[in-house]
């Protein structure tokens, strides 16, 4: 796990920081661009590794710019809610028993969240 000084980072913290930089950018950024925004205590190779992992997960896209790549958020991960929804779908796709997972998910919702989910499902039905 990466460290800064004597403090350890939480899992996924660097990925979240890199994504925050990409979300706030007006276009694709190179690892060097991202490193400058995040600060010099983070090595460019570390930023490149994070971006490669995010690309492997389908969270960012990359295009060749000279000898390097420039990265941008993937369409379905354009913001934090989109990324969270993508992760939820990914976990559901990996589940051996989707019915059980969805049942437990819905059972754990607050009354307000359950109401919102019912409203959203009703709107989806109206569109079909």
Above pLDDT 90, what percent of the chain? 48
Stated as kind and residue range, the H or E segment containing 73 is: strand 68-73
Please give the structure tokens belonging to residue 98.
């989707």
- Strand 7-8 and strand 3-4: the pairing is antiparallel
Distance CA 14, CA 11 (A): 8
- 83/15: higher pLDDT: 15
Segment 18-48, tens digit of pLDDT: 999 999 998 999 999 999 999 867 888 999 9
**The model's pTM:** 0.68
What pLDDT band is residue 89 in, cutting at 50, 70 and 90?
Answer: confident
Q: What is the pLDDT of residues 94-107, one digit of tens each?
A: 999 999 999 999 99
């Amino acid at each position: 796990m990466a460290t800064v000084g004597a403090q350890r980072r939480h899992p996924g913290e660097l990925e979240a920081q890199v994504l925050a930089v990409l979300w706030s950018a007006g276009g694709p950024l190179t690892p060097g661009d991202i490193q400058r925004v995040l600060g010099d205590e983070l090595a460019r190779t570390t930023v490149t590794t994070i971006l490669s992992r995010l690309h492997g997960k389908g969270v960012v896209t990359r295009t060749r710019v000279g000898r390097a790549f420039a990265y941008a958020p993937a369409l379905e991960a354009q913001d934090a809610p989109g990324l969270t929804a993508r992760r939820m779908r990914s976990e559901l796709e990996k589940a051996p028993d989707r019915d059980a997972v969805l049942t437990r998910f819905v059972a754990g919702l607050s009354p307000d969240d359950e109401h919102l989910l019912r409203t959203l499902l009703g709107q989806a039905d109206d569109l079909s």
